[in-house]
A and B are shown apart, each in its own frame.
Chain A
Amino acid sequence: MLHTFVALVEDKTGLLARVTSLFRRLNVNIISLTVGGTETAGVSRTTIVAEAAEERAPRIMASLYKLEGVLDVDDVGRHSAVIRELAMLKIAADQSTRSDLFQLAEVFRARIVDLAPESMMMEITGSASKIEGLVQILLQGNYRILEMARTGRMAMRRGHHASRVLEALGDTSPRIDPKTLSGTLKREAPDLLEDENHA
């Protein structure tokens, strides 16, 4: 099955190599990997999507924890979470096809971010299936995709869950008591943006 791990790591040279080397060592294939900044200076957030048997997840997490510089690990796939991916597509388009593509973009809530005489660039954010849906429609419509770039998944748990480690690092932003929250937080809360438009 696909696991989505979020690891908060110190922003230091070589740490990413340690993380990826671990997956290689455990013989687990990384499907996608995104790295970027967080609300805390010096802490990077890596989102790793990997294919592995379900029972292997705890050991992968524990092994990640063991790496020096890894501050916290979460298997967000096991919790209610918002999962997003961004894709940019450059599509061959001239005057005759442009307006159809504009319509398609609107249906998929994609944005046209570049327009050239013979091509246009679309930016789309959503779940992997939404992006793949757009690609499928484009290909079926005989459009030519000149280039595609995808970020891979980013994920964040719903509700007021936050990293214990970040709290320990001094994140004191006020929180609702988790006990009072549990009643109102539906574990399988609908993904609002996702439901709006799925072609």
Chain B
Amino acid sequence: MIMDKREKESGNHRNSPDTAIYTQPTPLTGAETVWATLVGEGVRDVFGYPGGAILPVYDALRKFPVRHILVRHEQGSAHMADGYARASGRVGVAMATSGPGATNLVTGIATAMLDSIPMVCITGQVSSKVLGTDAFQEVDITGITLPITKHNFLVRRTEDIAPALREAFRIAQSGRPGPVLVDITKDAQQNSAIFDFAAAAPQPYRPHPMLSADSTSIREALELLRTAKRPVILAGQGILHSGAMEQVRALAERAQIPVACTLLGLTAFPASHPLNLGMMGMHGESWVNHAIQQADLLIACGMRFDDRVTGSLSTYAPNAKKIHIEIDPAEINKNVRADVGLIGDLREILETMLPRLPGRDGAAWLHAISAMKGDAAVHDIQHLPDNGHLYAAHVINDIWRVTKGEAIVVTDVGQHQMWEAQYYKHDRPRSLITSGGLGTMGFALPAAIGAKVACPEKEVWVIAGDGGFQMTSPELATIVQEQLKINIAIVNNGYLGMVRQWQEKFYDKNYEGTPLLSPDFVKLADAHGIQGTHVRHRAEVISAVETARRHPGTFLIDFHVEQEDSVYPMIAPGAALHEMIRRPKQNPLVETATED
């Protein structure tokens, strides 16, 4: 039937699938059903960690053409599945055993939930006979993950495995994507049932009647567009999910509307496009935020007005009408009241609107924004004299230049994440992978592994801080075992930098708990058999980056950057979007202007 001898080729046992099990109902064990269903759903890679309650599933793995990547901590498996999904758009799959294996997934699931990432987590559960008895390694993981999954299943019977898994894939990808967890009892894995892939097909996704942008609303939106003098498009991650890159671009170009991006929307609109203003929000450039504050119309595309992009809500874009195009009706009017809410798939809605788009002359408004850039425009940091200091901005900008902006960059969370957003210009969709909503430190290294597995042909860079990198650094061993080529840049400033920056600005420089001792990361890499180098001077950056790229295996660069550098501009929490803390004059990276 589906049996094959175990092939031991480079830790990767890809067998040719027996397609017969998909055409005629076949008796399979629950464990085999798990893999057969995954393969049927198009899964080729699974990130996991075995244990007692999931062992039957692992035992059946050798019969199926699935690559299993053994992680070092289950949190890593969830982040890898997440990075896999973000890089490829396909559903990422993580696997863990019951109890602690399952609870270790939680941070990764919440990360995917907050950023709407399609992911399926499969956990083993104790036998159904002992469910609810506090058996060894029993934990109520469906209860625990209830608020951080789009949906979850507890499967107690073998015949329910395939329908639950197939529905999990449908739920993870449909509408607003998100993580789904399927918890399968050990006896359900061990018992046998007829596997009927076709019969296990889920109900097709039926958008709720609320999910319809009616013609009246679309007419109203077009009317607002026609009369707007100072419109701005707010580009969010929903553009990537919907695949509406072309449509948003057409909207911007035809109506001459400038585009501001959220952090997760940075790759949804080319950075080099003349209409792209850059990132909005807490660490957005001043002209972007000023443009939003002065706008008379905001066209929000697949974004959710997070507090990090609005600043104080009471002063947010006070003169602007808002068109909110969003697939999740629960986001309309949540933070910012929409004058026109268009609920549905962004691409479909824009395709309806584009043929009827009124022509408009946007020159005056674009000119006004350019004038705002004026003194605020960052000096080209590449032309600043070397003053003996190494700044993270240099490092990131150099990585951008050397990689020609074509790498997938996976960041951790903190200062380096914001500098990445400012100094690495992304022209390609899905080329920045970062934890936006939950802000999960430790995300970068495992997510980069997921991205590399999903896109082996792409160059993948990790940019992480010294703090976050230590949270998940054991995954270096995963990289070696899986023979992956990833370039790792650690922006090492000896502090939990973003927290230190807040202490500097809002807590009288009381650096409590932020000075950070780290191991020698190059030696740590070496202990894993990974090559690396230290960089302390600006002149060494480019050659180190080139060395890393040339090296056939994974390469780690520990950049020892300026310790007390801060990310500018910055909006204090609760302040208005236009009340930015601008770059100080003495900062050599900056423009000359200071106030407003």
Contacts and interface: CB of A to CB of B under 8 A. Distances in A.
Please determine whether chains A and B interact with each other in the same assembly.
yes
Contact of B147 (A25, A59, A66, A164): A25
A62 interface: yes
B333 interface: yes
Nearest to A22: B147
Contacts of A14: 142, 154
Contacts of B176: 66
B330 interface: yes
Interface in B136-161: 142-143, 146-147, 150-151, 154
A36 interface: no
A18 B334 contact: no
Contacts of A108: none
User: What secondary structure prevails in chain A residues at the interface with B?
Assistant: helix
Interface string A128-170: 0000000000000000000000000000000000001000000
Contacts of B151: 67-68
Interface string B186-219: 0000000000000000000000111000000000
Interface string A11-51: 00010011001000100000000000000000000000000
Interface string B316-334: 0000000000001110111
Interface in A47-69: 55, 58-59, 62-63, 65-68
B163 to A, nearest CB: 13
Contact of B328 (A18, A25, A66, A164): A66
B171 interface: yes
A62 B330 contact: yes
Interface residues of A, number: 15
A66 B143 CA distance: 18
Given A65-B208, A68-B151, A59 B333 contact: yes
Contacts of B330: 59, 62-63, 65-66
A164 B211 CA distance: 14
Given A68-B171, A164-B209, A62 B329 contact: yes
Nearest to B142: A14
B21 to A, nearest CB: 28
Nearest to A60: B330
A67 B330 CA distance: 11
Interface footprint category on B: 10 to 19
Nearest to A17: B146
Contact of A62 (B146, B171, B332): B332
A148 B330 CA distance: 38
Nearest to B171: A68
Nearest to A67: B151
A65 B146 contact: no
Contact of A21 (B147, B150, B171, B209): B147
A65 B150 CA distance: 12
A45 B330 CA distance: 22
Nearest to A26: B330
A55 B333 contact: yes
Contacts of B334: 59
A48 B328 CA distance: 22
B326 to A, nearest CB: 11
Contacts of B210: 62, 65
A17 B140 CA distance: 13
Nearest to A68: B151
Q: Which of A18, A55, A59, A68 has the most CB of B within 10 A?
A: A68
Contacts of B171: 68
A17 B154 CA distance: 14
A30 B192 CA distance: 43
A21 B146 contact: yes
Nearest to B206: A168
A65 B143 CA distance: 20
B142 A65 contact: no
A124 B294 CA distance: 60
A67 B210 CA distance: 14
Contacts of A63: 330
Contacts of A66: 150, 176, 328, 330
Nearest to B178: A66
Given A17-B146, A18-B146, A68-B151, A58 B208 contact: no
Contacts of A62: 210, 328-330, 332
Given A25-B147, A58-B332, 4 more contacts: A21-B147, A58-B333, A68-B150, A164-B209
Interface of B: 142-143, 146-147, 150-151, 154, 171, 176, 208-210, 328-330, 332-334
Interface of A: 14, 17-18, 21, 25, 55, 58-59, 62-63, 65-68, 164
Pairs of residues from A and B, 5 with the lowest C-beta to C-beta distance, nearest first: A62-B330, A62-B329, A68-B151, A63-B330, A65-B208
8 contacts: A17-B143, A55-B333, A58-B329, A58-B332, A62-B329, A62-B330, A66-B328, A66-B330
